Amino acid sequence: MTTQDTAQRPALRSQRLNQITHEPHSKLDALVKAHAPFETSANFARFVVAQYLFQSELVALYNDPELVALVGDLPARCRAEAAKADLADLDTEVPAPVAGAVNNPSKAEALGWLFVSEGSKLGAAFLIKRAVGLGLSETFGARHLGEPAGGRAQGWKTFVKTLDELELSADQEAELDKGAIDAFNRFTVLLEQAYATTPEPV
Ligand code: HEM
């Protein structure tokens, strides 16, 4: 990369990812809110279905030896089990898998997906406060939105630092971006699917 390129791009890789996912994030945020997940437990349960599907599709990535070698506590960061327990708390069946899950991505692409999954824990700090209004908490029904061990901010900081310090080729940088964008698109599909499968009570 030349000095000129450096000047035109965000200094850090994670900042570039923030930048390119800003629009998809705003859209997804609006879509989540459009489904009024905090109005009723039934609506919230649909949101948990989407979260469970998303997390369960990422289990292989969170446990991938090559990725675990980069982020030591990666397996513990996965929230598939927490979301599954939330479904049980909410008397909601574990949904069947939805076609189109990420499959055998490259390492860089996988990191893009994980960036989105890990980043979503930041928004979760706001969401769990709303879930409390439905009588839910990080030990019942909203476990997957709970504060991770070691703290939300610290967990994110460590993940981002690792990501920013990796040596990646130009091709891998592009794969990373693709992974992050694909992850937002996928969550959008799963959210729509989750709210489509059971009609929202009026
Ligand atoms: C599947 C992925 C994601 C979903 C479903 C999601 C959802 C949301 C929602 C619904 C909010 C609004 C909370 C509120 O206003 O009550 C929010 C806020 C937030 N999210 Fe995300 N998010 C995702 C990924 C990310 C990523 C990748 C990052 C960071 C890189 C991030 C960072 C934040 C932050 C900092 C907030 C708080 C305030 C703000 O809007 O800036 N989220 N998120």
CATH of the domain at 67: 1.20.910.10
> With bands split at pLDDT 50, 70 and 90, how would you rate the model's confidence at 10?
confident
Indicate whether 169 belongs to any domain: yes
Indicate whether 41 belongs to any domain: yes
Indicate whether 8 belongs to any domain: no
Our answer on whether the CB atom of 134 is closer than 6 Å to any ligand 1 atom is: no
Res 42 pLDDT > 70: yes
The whole-number average pLDDT for the span 145-172 is: 97
**Residue 2: its pLDDT value, please?**
47
Task: List helix spans (H) across the chain.
Answer: 3-8, 13-20, 22-34, 41-57, 59-62, 65-68, 74-77, 80-89, 107-132, 152-165, 170-197
Our answer on whether the CB atom of 16 is closer than 6 Å to any ligand 1 atom is: no
Indicate whether 202 belongs to any domain: no
Sign of the dihedral defined by the CA atoms of residues 95, 97, 98, 103, in that order: positive
**Residue 153: its pLDDT value, please?**
97
Nearest residue by C-alpha to atom 42 in ligand 1: 120
Indicate whether 201 belongs to any domain: no
Domain holding 43, by residue range, is 13-196
Nearest residue by C-alpha to atom 34 in ligand 1: 123
The pTM (predicted TM-score) of the whole model is: 0.93
78: three-class secondary structure by DSSP:
coil
State the burial class of residue 119 (Cβ atoms within 10 Å of its Cβ: 0-12, 13-18, 19+).
buried
The whole-number average pLDDT for the span 38-61 is: 98
Task: Please tell me the distance from the alpha carbon of residue 110 to that of residue 112, in angstroms, as a whole number.
Answer: 5
Indicate whether 114 belongs to any domain: yes
Indicate whether 136 belongs to any domain: yes
Q: How many domains does the chain have?
A: 1
Indicate whether 150 belongs to any domain: yes
Sequence-separated (6 or more) residues with CB below 8 Å from residue 43: 35, 36, 37, 200
The whole-number average pLDDT for the span 132-145 is: 98
Task: Please tell me the distance from the alpha carbon of residue 66 to that of residue 184, in angstroms, as a whole number.
Answer: 23
Summarised one tens digit per residue, pLDDT across range 94-121 is 999 999 999 999 999 999 999 999 999 9
